[in-house]
Homo-oligomer: A and B are copies of this chain.
């Protein structure tokens, strides 16, 4: 199984699929191709949330604003999974979630384009790892272990007894605003988020449509939301903003 993730929209992902299917009969599963454009951190967050639900697979990830520069290309073995993508940190959070990452550098020489390594470097490598097996990584001549790579870690929140200060990590397609504060902080019936009071509820429909709420999202973090509306707008927060919660 090979999963595909990118910020490409269409139809570029189809070119990657064609390249893979010339080399492999692998089942292909799209994770998303509309990750926020060239937003390495958002993609890293969502991959960490979603890929652990998959059985062992090769995960092809192309959110790659540095394509065609001297940024390296990586393959990572972790748990029973492999990850393939650019050396910009996007693979690391999910790699740590899936197991104990071993990082390899892919020597790709002259790719046939310098603007579409998803098609010309990463897709063929993903197909090859799928066909040879995750354990073949050491034996592939153009793939060498490295400990020199870009890392990416999400900021840690400051969580006290009565207050927590965190950051808005991403906003999902519904408008739910996902913070980095662990859901366990929400042991009360009501909370103030950046000055706006809202009830703490088990899910969205526990308040009237259009009303604000604070809940524990499916990722386990505190989420600012509106029933049938957009939490980011109602709480006035955007990705990267500080979020201050007070009981």
List residues of A (69-104) whose CB comes within 8 Å of B's CBs.
69
The interface residues of chain B lying within 8 Å CB-to-CB of A203 are 67-69, 114-115
Q: Hey, what's the 0/1 contact readout for A10-54 against B, CB within 8 Å counting as 1?
A: 111011011101100001111111110110000000100111111
**Which of A52, A54, A69, A218 counts the most chain B CB atoms within 10 A?**
A218
Interface pick from A1-9, A135-143, A152-160, A184-192: A1-9
A196 within 8 A of B: no
A148 within 8 A of B: no
Is the Cβ of B68 less than 8 Å from the Cβ of A206?
yes
A239 within 8 A of B: no
- A contact residues, total (Cβ < 8 Å): 60
**Which of A34, A65, A115 counts the most chain B CB atoms within 10 A?**
A115
Query: Complex formed: what's the CA distance from A180 to B175 in Å?
Result: 32
A174 within 8 A of B: yes
A202 within 8 A of B: yes
Partner of A228, one of B34, B38, B68, B114: B38
The interface residues of chain B lying within 8 Å CB-to-CB of A34 are 9-10
Partner of A206, one of B17, B69, B113: B69
A204 within 8 A of B: yes
- Given contacts A9-B173, A11-B46, A172-B12, A18 and B55 within 8 Å (CB-CB): yes
Is the Cβ of A205 less than 8 Å from the Cβ of B67?
yes
Is the Cβ of A18 less than 8 Å from the Cβ of B53?
yes
Query: Complex formed: what's the CA distance from A35 to B14 in Å?
Result: 13
Chain B residue nearest in CB terms to A209: B65
A215 within 8 A of B: yes
A145 within 8 A of B: no
Please give the residue numbers on chain A whose beta carbons come within 8 Å of chain B beta carbons, in ascending order: 1, 3, 5, 8-12, 14-15, 17-19, 21-22, 27-35, 37-38, 46, 49-55, 65-69, 113-116, 119-120, 172-174, 202-206, 215-218, 223, 227-228
- Pick 15 A–B contacts, CB within 8 A, sort by A: A10-B31, A11-B35, A14-B29, A14-B50, A15-B49, A15-B218, A18-B51, A21-B27, A21-B29, A21-B55, A22-B54, A65-B227, A114-B215, A115-B216, A116-B217
